[in-house]
Structure 1
Amino acid sequence: MATAPLIPAYDFVVPPATGLSLQSISHLSWIFIAVTPENYAQALEFIPQTFGLFNFLVEASSLPSDGAQIKELLNAGASKVITSLEQLKLLRDPKFQINEDRLILAIARGKNTREDFENAIRDTSLGVFVPDVADVAFVHGWLEQYGTENRPSVFISFESTPTIEEAFELMKVNASLIIDSKDLTVDSAKEKGFLSVGEIYASGLKSDRSDGLFTTLVVDEQGVALGLVYSSKESIKESLKTGSGVYQSRKRGLWYKGATSGATQELVRIDIDCDGDCLRFTVRQKGKGFCHLETRTCFGESTGLGALQATLTSRFASAPEGSYTARLFKDPALLKAKIMEEAEELCEAKTKDDVAWEAADLLYFAFTKCVSAGVTLADVERNLDAKSLKVVRRKGDAKEKWTNGTKAQTAAAPIPPPDSAQKDTNGRIEMKRYFASEISSGELDGILKRPSQKSSDTIMGIVNPIIKAVKEDGDKALLGYTQKFDRCPDLKSTVLRAPYAESLMTLTPEVKAAIDLSYENILKFHAAQKEAKPLEVETMPGVRCSRFARPIERVGLYIPGGTAVLPSTALMLGVPALVAGCKTIVFASPPRPDGSITPEIVYIAHKVGAEAIVLAGGAQAVAALAYGTESVPKVDKILGPGNQFVTAAKMVVSNDTGATVSIDMPAGPSEVLVIADKTANPAFVASDLLSQAEHGVDSQVVLIAVDLSADQLQAIDDELHAQAMALPRVDIVRGAIDHSVTVVVDSVEKAFEVSNLYAPEHLILQIADAKACVEKVQNAGSVFIGQWTPESVGDYSAGVNHSLPTYGYAKQYSGVNLATYVKHITSSELSAEGLRNLGSAVMDLAAVEGLDAHRMAVKIRLDHMTKAA
C-alpha cells in the first residue's frame, strides 16, 4: 500500500480550530493519529466512524507492550501501526496472526544518531518512524547518504513546525512528512502563516516531461478510468482548495473540469504512484460524463458493476410505471424472494458458465436492494476493505436455518498466518484438481502460478543494508549477522580453513560410502562434458578463428542450511568446480547453533579441495563472497541455491560493477511436475510429488494427469495422503500441497504443452514410451524418464546436477554443468593473405560507422604490404 508524501497529523480528541478540516485531509488519502493509553477507547470509535475517508497511520508505541491493543487498532481499520521494537518483536509471533506489512518501527524519541537509524533499518523492512525531529539537516544528510531507492519507507514528524524549505529538502530524499493539521492550509493566499498543502504535496512529485507536468489518471470510486489528463503544481493546489477536479490544459492553462459543460467533479482523494511520477484523482463525476463526447469515460460507456449501478440509480429515480425494475423497487417482498431464489440457484450451479450466469443474476437483485436503500457500490467496497483489514475474525459457521436446522458443530479455530505450514494438522492432504477442458488459457496461467514471494521492495529493504554493512565492515558485520540470524551467539570466527581436522569429518561408513559413490558418478558425468580441444575454423583463406575454454579462477559455492542439511548440494557444486580446474573453491553454509558445520559438508570440501568454508548463510554470506573480507577470499562467481534473500543478494552483487562477480542463475523454491498416464503406478506418482513437497512450504508440485478416470485420480490422491501422513516433515508437506495442483488433460500432447508453459525445475515422465516423448520437452531443468527413475536419484547419486533453474527460469537457463565453471575466450589469427582478403570489408564497415581509427588500423597494414612488394 503506497503512502503519501504528506500525512497530516490530527487530534481526534480535541479537533483543532484552525488548519485543515477532516474533509480536506481526506483528499490526501492518509491521516496520522497518535494513540495513547488515555485516548485509546476514543481511537477505537474514531477509526471505524471515519473509515473510508482515510488510510490510518497510527502511532501506538506508548501502548502496553503485550500487543493486544495494537491488534485491536488493526482490527478496527488502522492501515499501518507504528510500534516500539519490543512491541514489534512480540507481534511477529505467529499467534498474533498479523501481517508484518502493516507494522512500522519507531525510533525511540530523542535518539537520532546515525547508529540508531542503521539499527532500525536492520531490524525491520517494514518502514521506520522518526519522531520529533529537531535537526532536519542531519536527517536529510542521513537519508541522502543511505539512498532513496529500495529502502524501507521513512516517516518523519517534527519537534516544531518545519519551514517550507525544510519540507522540500526532505521530500527530495523520499521521506514521508507528518505535519500537524493545524499548521496546514489549502488556501495559502487567504491563510497566511500556514504551510501550503499543495506546495508540499507537489514537491514530492517527479516529472520527466519538458513542460514539468504530471501525468494524471482520473478514476471513479470503483477505480474505473474516466480519462487521462495532466496536472501542475498550481492545478493541484487549486483542486485541493476547491475540492473539485482541476487540471492543467496544455493549451488553455488551468482547466476547471465542467465549468462550461456542467460535468463537474467532486474530488474524493489524490494518490501518488510508487515512483512518484503519476497521480490518480478519484472523483465523483457529475453531469453526462467525463468525455467531451458526453460519454461517462474517454474509453466509451461504462460496463460491469459500475454501469449496473448507474442504470439502477436512474431507474430508481424514473423507472417507467409497470417495468420490472420499478416493481422490484416498490415490492420489498418480491425483491427479497428474488435474492433468495438467485442465491439458491448460484449454490446449485455446477459448471463455470452456470456459476457466472447465476452470480450475475444475484448481483443484479442485490444491487437493486442497495440502490433502493441509498447504498452505492463505493459503500459496499468500503465495507469489503474494512473487512479485509480485520485481524480478529468471527467463527464463520452458518446460521441454523441454513444448515437444515442442525447447529454446526465445527470447533472455532484461529485463522492461521499467511503461508503457514500448519493450516490443518489433521485434515486430508490433497491437491486441488482442475480439468484443462473446462478452463481458459488465462485461467490455466493463474492455476500454475508459483506461490507468491515477498515483494521485491520488502526483500531488498532487508538485503541491501546487509550487503552494504558486509561490504564496508567486513568480518565484523559478517560475524554479527551470523550470530544474529543463525542463532549461534558464541561463534568467534566465520571461516574454517583447509586442511580440515579429521575430527570435523567423522562420518558413519554408510554415509561416507554414499558420498564417495555419488562423488564418482558426478565426476564422471561432468568430466565427460570437457571439450576435447579448442574449436578452430578457417573462415576464409588466411583467416583462422578459434575458441578455447579456461576455468573461472575463484568460485564461491553456497550450500543452504535452513530446514534441511544439504551435503548433496556441496557435491553438485564442488565436483564440477574441481573437474573444471577452478584454482580457488570456497564453500559457504550456515553453521549450526553451536557454531559447527555438518561433517558431511566438511568431508566434501576436503574431497574437492575447497580452500575455506564460510560459516554464514543468507545475504551476508553472498556479500562476503562477492566483495571479500579480511578472512573471506573474494570470488569471481557465486553459485548455489537459497531462499529469497540469497537469490536477491546474488542479483544485487551481480549488478554491482564494484563487485565484478557473476552468478549461476536466479533460484527459487524447489518444484516438480509429474506427467502420468494410465500406465503410472499411483504410489510412484505420489512419492515423486512428496519428494519435492517436503523441501519447504513455499515449494510447489504439479501433476499433469493424462486422461485418468475419477478412480485413478482418487488412487493417486489416496496414496499422497497416506504417504504424507507418515512423513516426519508432514507439516511442511501440508504447506506445499496447499498451493499445488492436479491438471487433468486429454492427451500427451496437451500434457507437454502445459509442462513447457510451466517450465519445471524437475520433470518426471511416468507415461508409456517415456523415452520417445523426451523430444517433446522444450522447457525443464532436468528430466526423469520412466517409472524406475525417481527424482531422488538426480538429487544425489546418478551423476546429473541437481542445481537447476526454478520459478520458470528453465525457459532461459540451464542447470549447473561444467560450462558453468568455465569461460570461453576467442582468438583470431590472420596471415598477410587473410588481411588482404578481409581488409576492404573491414574498412568499408568502419567507414559506415564513422570509426576512422578502426579503418586506418587495416589500411596502414595493407599500405605496408604494397610498399614491401
Structure 2
Amino acid sequence: MPSLPTPVFLPAVDPTAAALVPSLALIGPLLVPASLVGAVVPTLPKTATYIVDISAPNDVDPVLLLNNGAIALVVSQAQLENLSAEGIPSDRLIVKLGESELASAPRLAKAAAGLYVTEATKPVSAKSLGVKAQVFVELKSTSASTLVEDIKASLPTTIVVPTSLLTNGASTATHVSIADAFLAPVISDRPDGLFPTIVSSSTHSSRPLGMVYSSRESVSEAIKTQKGVYQSRKHGLWRKGETSGSVQDLVAIELDCDTDSLVFQVVQHGTGFCHLGTPTCFGSFSGLARLEDTLKSRLESAPEGSYTKRLFTDEKLLRAKILEEAEELCDAQTKEEVAFEAADLFYFALARAVSKGVSLKDIELALDAKALKVTRRKGDAKPKYEAKVAESSTPAPAAAAAPAPVAPAASETIRMKTTKLSTLNKAEQKKLLLRPVLNSLAMIDKVKPIVERVRTEGDAGLKAMTKQFDKAELSSNIQLPPFATPSLEELPPVVREAIDQAYLNVKTFHAAQVDKAPLKVETMPGVVCSRFARPIQRVGIYVPGGTAILPSTAIMLGVPAQVAGCKEIVLATPPRADGSISPEVLYVAQLTGVTAILKAGGAQAVAAMAYGTGEVPKVDKIFGPGNQWVTAAKMYLQNDTDALIAIDMPAGPSEVLVMADSTANPVFVASDLLSQAEHGVDSQVVLVAINLTEKHLAEIEAEVDKQARALPRVEIARQAIAKSLIVLVDTQAEGIAFSNEYAPEHLILHLENAPAAVASIDNAGSVFVGAFTPESCGDYASGTNHTLPTNGYARQFSGVNTASFQKSITSQEITREGLSVLGPVVVTLAEREGLDAHANAVRVRLQALQA
C-alpha cells in the first residue's frame, strides 16, 4: 500500500454526521469509529476512503475491516503489538498516544505508518517528534472560532476535526463550512484570488478534461451539491452543464503539493467537457479510454449482423475469443508479439466488461480494493489450468507407458474439518465464530444504478428490467385480486392440502402472538401510561421465484402480515417467462389476503416497493429473503430518506449449528447438517460434538458422506461441507457457551435432555428440540417462522413474527390530581435542562389548578 494520505484535516465522524458524510467523502479520508462502521461505510461512494478507529474496546475483526476497504486502522499501543505479531502490515496501522507519551513516538513510529496524538494542547509535527510517520493530532483547544487557523498552523500535521464543528452551509460562530476548512491552507498568486483547477475524468484517466478556475464560493457550492461548479472569470459562478446539459458529478477534490491549485475528479455527462463538443479541451481520448467509449456506443447501436453485435449477443463466441487471445498472449515471445496479442486480449476482455455494465473505472476500483487486502490466497493456478499447461509443455509418454490413474474429485470423502475447542487460544476461538467475508459494499455499488433507474423511470424502467432480467415482457407488473384459483392440474389436491395445513399451523402460532389488549400501568396516582400495537399499514413481502417454487416463504411472510392486520400487502416475486406466477404462490396469496402481486424480482422489485411507482404501491417495510442483489438493495434503501422504509433484518447465507451428545442418532445428525448444506456453497454448517467417542464421531461423518452422495445437489453439499466445521467440546455447558457466541440461525439439539437445555440458550434464530424435530419442519409447516437472522445477528435480532408487522404506540393520561403531584417534578427537570418552554407548559396548568 502507498504511504498514508496527508489530508488538510481528518473528519472524525460521529452519529449525527450522516448529512455531511457525502460532502466530506469528496475531500479525503474519513475517520470512522468501529461502532459506526456498519452505519457509515455502506453509505459511502465507492471512490471514498476511510480509516477505522478500533482503539476502544470492540469485537470487530481488523483483518476483515482492512480486506473490505479501510485504508488504515487507528489502534492502541497494546493492539499495535498484537496486530503486528499477527502479520498485519505496519503501513496500515496508526497508533494512538497521549501528549504525555510523546517520548515514545520514535519507537512507535517504527512499527506504524502514522501517529495519532490525543488531546494535545498544541500541534506537533513529524519533524519535532523526530519521526517520518504521518502525524494526526486531536487538539484540546479546537473550536469553530480557531479551526481554520489551527489547520493553517498545523500543516503538514493533520488536525482531527469532530464533524460536530462542521457544516455544509456558510461558516458561523459555532460551525465552520467544510469548504472553508478544506481551503484553509490554499493560497493564490492571482490578483483576483482564484485558484487554477484541473478537471479530470473519474472514468477516463488517460488525459485531463480541461483547466478552469475556482473560488471559495464555487468550491463551497461544489462540495454542497456534489456537482462540478467553478468560477468563470467573466460571468461569476459557473455550474457546469446548467445550460448545455453536460453536467458533472463530483467524485473528489484534491490539492496539489504546493496548495495553490486544485484537481476536480468528475463523472462527465452529455456531449463532453469542451464547448466545441469534444470530450476534452485537448481533443479526444485515446487508448483504452477511446476503446471503452467505442464499445459502449456499439453496444447500443451496432448494426445487426456486425461482428461487434455478435460479440455482445453470442456469449459463446466472446468466451472463445477471450480464451483464444489469452493463449496466444501466453505463446507470444517478442516485444512486438506480446504488445499485439495483449491488445487483442484487452479488446475482447473490455467487450465482456462493457456487455455486463462494467467500466474501466470499475476495474481500477477492483484493483485498488485488491491492493488493500491484507490476506492473500496462495495464488496457484486452478488444477485444470495447471494440468493443461503441464500437458502442453511435457513430451508425450512412450506408447507402452500407462498413465498413472488420477482419482476424480467425486471419489473423495465428503467430510467436515474438525477442531477441539479447548486446545485453541481466545483469538483462535474467536476466528471460529467468523462467517465468510460478505462484500456488501461492492454489491451495494452494483445495485445503485438499478435502484436509481426505478426511482427516476418508474414503471417504464421496471418493465424494461423485468424484460432484461426475468425474460418476461409485461404490459403491467402488477396483478390485483381477485386472483384466479389454480386448476387441479396446476395444483394437485395433495399439494393444496399440504399448503392448507402449513398455512393453518403458521396462522395459529402467529395469531396467538397478537396483543389482545393494550398494556395499562398507573405509574403513580392519576398518571396512567399505556402501550398498544398497531399494524404497519403497507408492507412488502419478497418471495424468491422465477423457475423456483417457494410457497413456504409466501406463507411465512403473508400469514403474520395478515394476522397483524396490515391493510396493504404487496407480494413481489419474479414472473416466469410467460409472465405468470407459480400457482403455489398464487394460491398462498389468496389465502393470506395479498392486495397486490408485483411481478418482478431482484433489486428492481425492492426499489419499486420502496419508492412506489405509478402502478406499484409504496410500502413502509420490506420483508423476505433473496439473493445478494435483493439483500444489497434492502440494505441500501433502508438508509435512503427518499424511500423511508424499514427492513426485516440483515441477511446472509443459511446456517445451522447441530449440538450432539452420546445419545444422538448419527443418521439424524447427518441429515440435519445436510439439510442446510444443500442451500448453497456458502451455507454455514457446524456440529458441536459433546464428548463423543471416536467411533460415534466416525459414524456421523460416514453418514454425512453417504447421505450427501444420494442428494441431487451433491456438488453444492460437497463444497459447503468441505468448509464446515466439527467443534469438539468436553461438556454440554461448554457446547452451549460456544453456540451462544456463534448465535446460529438454526440450532438443533440432539441431547439426552434437550428440553432442559433450552433454558440456557441465549442467542439463536430458532431452536429445534430433540431427535424428532428436524429443522425442515420449521422451514415449512410446524408453525414457527423460517425467516431468521443469520451471520451472528441472532445476538440482537429476532426472527420474523407477528410483532415484526406491527409497531407499538404509547399514550399517557393524567388527571388534575395526577398533574398536581407530577407537575413539579417535570418543572424541576425541565428547568435543570434549560428547556423553559417545557417547564412553562406544565407551570401554566399548575397555576390554573391553584386558581
- For the criterion TM > 0.5, the same-fold answer is yes
1:452, distance to aligned residue in structure 2 (A): 2.8
AA partner of residue 388 (structure 1): G
On the 8 A contact 1:557/1:585 being kept in 2, the answer is yes
AA partner of residue 478 (structure 2): V
Residue 121 (structure 2) aligns with: none
The CA distance in 2 between the partners of 1:610 and 1:818, in whole Å, is 16
1:548, distance to aligned residue in structure 2 (A): 0.9
Q: 2:477 aligns with which of 494, 498, 512?
A: 494
Instruction: Specify whether residues 715 and 426 from structure 1 end up closer, same or farther in structure 2 by C-alpha distance, changes over 3 A only.
Output: same
The CA distance in 1 between the partners of 2:376 and 2:828, in whole Å, is 67
Structure 1 stretches (4+) deviating beyond 6 angstroms? Answer: 1-5, 171-175, 203-206, 384-387, 389-392
Any residues of structure 2 matched to 1:19-30 within 5 Å, and which? none
On the 8 A contact 2:666/2:703 being kept in 1, the answer is yes
Q: 1:156 aligns with which of 187, 205, 217?
A: 205
On the 8 A contact 1:625/1:633 being kept in 2, the answer is yes
The CA distance in 1 between the partners of 2:813 and 2:667, in whole Å, is 61
1:437, distance to aligned residue in structure 2 (A): 2.3
On the 8 A contact 1:451/1:739 being kept in 2, the answer is no
The CA distance in 2 between the partners of 1:685 and 1:531, in whole Å, is 37
Q: 1:447 aligns with which of 420, 432, 440?
A: 432
AA partner of residue 510 (structure 1): V
Instruction: Specify whether residues 575 and 548 from structure 1 end up closer, same or farther in structure 2 by C-alpha distance, changes over 3 A only.
Output: same
Residue 475 (structure 1) aligns with: 459
Residue 342 (structure 2) aligns with: none
Task: Tell me the secondary structure at the aligned position of residue 394 of structure 1.
Answer: helix
Residue 430 (structure 1) aligns with: 415
Task: Tell me the secondary structure at the aligned position of residue 532 of structure 2.
Answer: strand
1:672, distance to aligned residue in structure 2 (A): 0.6
Task: Tell me the secondary structure at the aligned position of residue 859 of structure 1.
Answer: helix
Percent sequence identity over aligned pairs:
51
AA partner of residue 621 (structure 2): K
Q: 1:509 aligns with which of 485, 493, 498?
A: 493
User: In the alignment, is residue 632 of structure 1 matched against residue 616 of structure 2?
Assistant: yes
Residue 767 (structure 1) aligns with: 751
Any residues of structure 2 matched to 1:579-728 within 5 Å, and which? 579-728=563-712
Q: Which runs of 5+ in 1 are unaligned?
A: 6-136, 144-152, 176-202, 207-211, 213-231, 238-383, 401-405, 414-423
User: In the alignment, is residue 233 of structure 1 matched against residue 216 of structure 2?
Assistant: no
On the 8 A contact 1:542/1:832 being kept in 2, the answer is yes
Number of residue-to-residue matches in the alignment:
512
1:734, distance to aligned residue in structure 2 (A): 2.0
1:156, distance to aligned residue in structure 2 (A): 2.9
Instruction: Specify whether residues 701 and 467 from structure 1 end up closer, same or farther in structure 2 by C-alpha distance, changes over 3 A only.
Output: same
Instruction: Specify whether residues 789 and 757 from structure 1 end up closer, same or farther in structure 2 by C-alpha distance, changes over 3 A only.
Output: same
1:491, distance to aligned residue in structure 2 (A): 3.7
Instruction: Specify whether residues 859 and 650 from structure 1 end up closer, same or farther in structure 2 by C-alpha distance, changes over 3 A only.
Output: same
1:752, distance to aligned residue in structure 2 (A): 0.7
Residue 554 (structure 2) aligns with: 570
Residue 379 (structure 2) aligns with: 388
1:164, distance to aligned residue in structure 2 (A): 7.9
AA partner of residue 379 (structure 2): S
The CA distance in 2 between the partners of 1:772 and 1:647, in whole Å, is 36
1:649, distance to aligned residue in structure 2 (A): 1.3
The CA distance in 2 between the partners of 1:813 and 1:641, in whole Å, is 15
Residue 193 (structure 1) aligns with: none
Q: 1:779 aligns with which of 746, 763, 766?
A: 763
1:779, distance to aligned residue in structure 2 (A): 0.3
Residue 855 (structure 1) aligns with: 839
AA partner of residue 776 (structure 2): S
TM-score relative to the length of structure 1: 0.54
**Structure number with larger C-alpha Rg:** 1
Task: Tell me the secondary structure at the aligned position of residue 388 of structure 1.
Answer: coil
User: In the alignment, is residue 735 of structure 1 matched against residue 719 of structure 2?
Assistant: yes
For residues 745-772 of structure 1, the C-alpha deviation after alignment (integer angstroms, 9 at most, x for no partner) is: 1111111111111100000000110100
AA partner of residue 493 (structure 1): S
User: In the alignment, is residue 749 of structure 1 matched against residue 773 of structure 2?
Assistant: no
The CA distance in 1 between the partners of 2:472 and 2:434, in whole Å, is 39
The CA distance in 2 between the partners of 1:595 and 1:154, in whole Å, is 38
1:385, distance to aligned residue in structure 2 (A): 8.4
Task: Tell me the secondary structure at the aligned position of residue 491 of structure 2.
Answer: coil
CA RMSD of aligned residues (A): 3.8
AA partner of residue 572 (structure 2): A
For residues 557-603 of structure 1, the C-alpha deviation after alignment (integer angstroms, 9 at most, x for no partner) is: 11123784321011011111111111111101122233321111000
The CA distance in 1 between the partners of 2:472 and 2:508, in whole Å, is 42
For residues 146-185 of structure 1, the C-alpha deviation after alignment (integer angstroms, 9 at most, x for no partner) is: xxxxxxx734323x7844869x99x98999xxxxxxxxxx
On the 8 A contact 1:451/1:699 being kept in 2, the answer is no
1:448, distance to aligned residue in structure 2 (A): 3.5
On the 8 A contact 1:642/1:668 being kept in 2, the answer is no
On the 8 A contact 1:707/1:745 being kept in 2, the answer is yes
Instruction: Specify whether residues 412 and 752 from structure 1 end up closer, same or farther in structure 2 by C-alpha distance, changes over 3 A only.
Output: closer
Instruction: Specify whether residues 735 and 497 from structure 1 end up closer, same or farther in structure 2 by C-alpha distance, changes over 3 A only.
Output: farther
The CA distance in 2 between the partners of 1:593 and 1:726, in whole Å, is 31
AA partner of residue 498 (structure 1): P
Instruction: Specify whether residues 710 and 795 from structure 1 end up closer, same or farther in structure 2 by C-alpha distance, changes over 3 A only.
Output: same
1:543, distance to aligned residue in structure 2 (A): 0.7
The CA distance in 1 between the partners of 2:666 and 2:446, in whole Å, is 43
Residue 834 (structure 1) aligns with: 818
1:411, distance to aligned residue in structure 2 (A): 4.8
AA partner of residue 446 (structure 2): I
